[in-house]
Structure 1
Amino acid sequence: MTMFCDPTKVGHFAVRAEDVAAGEPEALFRLLVATSMFQRRQDLQIMRVLQGIGEADARELSTASTLLRLSDGSPCEHLRSTMALRERCDLGKDAETKLGVCLAKPEHPCHLKRHTVLLKRYGHFGKVPSSIALAIREYGATDLGELRRQALDEVSTPEEAALLLEAALCRAWRVSRKIAHMYLSMMTNPDLCPAAPGPWAEGVDWTQFVVIDSNVDLFLKATGYPGPWTYEARRVFLRELARRVDLSAMGDGLAGYNPRLVQQALYLFMSVTNRRAVERDCGRRAPEGCVGCLVELRGVCGWGAP
């Protein structure tokens, strides 16, 4: 969460921790848009993209009311719903000019074409911010806070609430379970949020949210995880693995059972790029710094410990 509050990390997409804790609608939406960027590229690369987007463009990309106004005012019917964006919008990038293009209305200066250039991702990635805004409206909510309140009214257990919130976010284009879990864990997990418990923690089983990416998969493969390799199977496995780690013994008021923190430790352990950016990483003291590490872990260390 701290990273998303730091303008030196995410530029004009940074939010104030107190606004998130207070449930301020614009802050919650901006945080979700910024979170959606962190997929299939190294974190440092994504941060450079976000840092390079100007203030006015960042505001447009991360303000739900603006995105809905642009979508509703467009002559293109493919911008009217998440389904139309997903199934009929053929947004892409010209291989030579790198400008946003489409076949449906090639002459129309669609805001998605501008967004796909600004975000510097896949050609279709410009759909993401508008799709998130549409997904919230299609749920019958005016903002993410209202979406949460409606979801909690529809269920009877904290686990059901967690799964329903995940499903609601995943209606949006390119908001996968991983991205939904990143966002929801920041909003609910008491050890990730600047205000404990998290602003959305009440009524939600935050232990359901586990972020599985390529670095976590590297650890699972290196340590003999047999599968299956569906997201759900890996999530269940990591939640059970976390039951063997009592984080409260580490002090600092940590919850004893926190699958998200255990998963994050695996991610950091295997992420060479992110570790090299940390001055106090034990890999900088190799081989002396490796003495305290289990022999079994030295063999799979992302840094390449002896």
Structure 2
Amino acid sequence: MEPHDARHRCPPISERTEPADALRRVAAWYFANVYGRTEGPGTLPFYCDPSRVGAFAVESGELARGEPPALFRLFVALSMFQALRDVVIMRQQRTMTAEEAESLVSATILELRLERHDCEHLASAEMFESRCDVHKDRTGVDCRSRPGVECHVKAATCLFRRMGDMGKLPTSAWLRAWKDGALARVLAVVQQGEPNPQRRAEQLVEHFAQVHRVGRKLATMFVSALSTPALAPGLTPWAPDVDGNRLLVVDTNVARAVDALRPPGAVRSYEARAAWLREQAAQVNLREFRDDVPACSPRLVQQALYHFCSKSNREAQGLDCRGASLSCEVCAPSLCPLRRAV
């Protein structure tokens, strides 16, 4: 295994390409305005903060110890962040009662409900995911297998207020990765079979992406939250055995930034965007900005893009710089959502 410094070493500044310089400017903005203020050292991650996510908040002590129920709670809570702006999802989480939130994210409650329900589709993850046909129609949420019968999957779909089969997500996650101590077994298999901590992170993403309605983006959010210490010091129980610094969460804002920086006609898939951003971000030496972060962390550069390129999040955090006596040229004007909105 390579030593830590070797894994995070960046090329000399003189080797930067033009896109990498734009990423460096975004990183400079991030470390000046966000890092150490609303996330990173001295802050509470949003998923542990009741003022931001209400009853979905994960208890920080339980998270630091890597307790499986806390990780299940985190997984389901983060999995809600799809297809809508983050501020909208957080508002939805805050408006749910503690009882409603617990019915979605409590591993204990879900396990009891699975034990008490006699639906034959709950025998395994594969059977559940392929045969449970929960759906929405004009009359509400139901299934064709047991129409009219109360079910925790139907109830979850109603609470999520999203796609008709969204309520399958917590049960799918439990059956695939938490039932009967499965989480510890998954971690052990990955750690024993792969010596490289960064490739371990990638393998774990592949595993959690199989959960119903999750996919690569949300699985990456989960794994990186547990394996990127710079983003949540003291609250990443899988690090350093698992290293999330090369993982990338490509949301809509990050995808738009990548497409703006790449040559016209580049492939617009998740994998292509992530591979390009990982290569370019590796040229940004983050030690220019702080000496307590890895010199090379594509995940931190991507996080900088996420904050910089989201108009709604910047406004919510008081980072709307329109009207301030600042020169846009020292920033990254081609990527700035506020400049475009002027």
- Whether TM-score is above 0.5 comes out as yes
Q: Distance in 2 between matches of 1:250 and 1:291?
A: 19
Paired residue type of 1:18: G
Structure 1 unpaired stretches of 5+: none
Q: Distance in 1 between matches of 2:127 and 2:151?
A: 15
Query: 2:338 is matched with which residue: 281, 300, 303?
Result: 303
Answering whether residue 253 of structure 2 is matched by residue 210 of structure 1, we say: no
> How many Å apart are 1:214 and its aligned residue?
1.0
Alpha carbons 1:23, 1:145 under 8 Å: kept: no
Query: 2:233 is matched with which residue: 187, 194, 198?
Result: 194
Q: Distance in 1 between matches of 2:335 and 2:191?
A: 42
Q: How much is the aligned-residue C-alpha RMSD, in angstroms?
A: 2.2
Q: Distance in 1 between matches of 2:95 and 2:290?
A: 38
> How many Å apart are 1:109 and its aligned residue?
0.7
Answering whether residue 122 of structure 2 is matched by residue 122 of structure 1, we say: no
In the other structure, the counterpart of 1:244 is 283
> How many Å apart are 1:125 and its aligned residue?
0.7
Query: 1:55 is matched with which residue: 69, 77, 98?
Result: 98
Paired residue type of 1:191: A
In the other structure, the counterpart of 1:174 is 213
Q: TM-score, normalised by structure 2?
A: 0.80
Total equivalences in the alignment: 297
In the other structure, the counterpart of 1:133 is 174
Structure 2 unpaired stretches of 5+: 1-43
Q: CA offsets, 1:173-212, max 9 Å, x none?
A: 112111111111110101112317x311122232231100
* SS class of match (1:93): strand
Q: CA offsets, 1:31-82, max 9 Å, x none?
A: 1110000011111111122112221232231122432332343232223332
Q: Distance in 2 between matches of 1:73 and 1:245?
A: 53
> How many Å apart are 1:137 and its aligned residue?
4.5
> How many Å apart are 1:217 and its aligned residue?
1.2
Q: CA offsets, 1:3-54, max 9 Å, x none?
A: 0111111111101222211112221111111000001111111112211222
Alpha carbons 2:54, 2:95 under 8 Å: kept: yes
> How many Å apart are 1:110 and its aligned residue?
1.1
Q: Distance in 1 between matches of 2:237 and 2:249?
A: 19
Alpha carbons 1:72, 1:80 under 8 Å: kept: no
Alpha carbons 2:307, 2:314 under 8 Å: kept: yes
Aligned-residue identity in percent: 36
Alpha carbons 2:228, 2:243 under 8 Å: kept: no
Could you say which structure has the greater relative contact order, defined with CA pairs below 8 angstroms and 6 or more residues apart? 2
> How many Å apart are 1:151 and its aligned residue?
2.4
> How many Å apart are 1:243 and its aligned residue?
1.3
Q: Distance in 2 between matches of 1:291 and 1:49?
A: 34
Query: 1:24 is matched with which residue: 67, 83, 98?
Result: 67
Answering whether residue 195 of structure 2 is matched by residue 156 of structure 1, we say: yes
* SS class of match (1:124): coil
Query: 1:265 is matched with which residue: 304, 315, 330?
Result: 304
> How many Å apart are 1:252 and its aligned residue?
5.5
Residues 193 and 300 of structure 1: CA distance in aligned 2, closer, same or farther (over 3 Å): closer
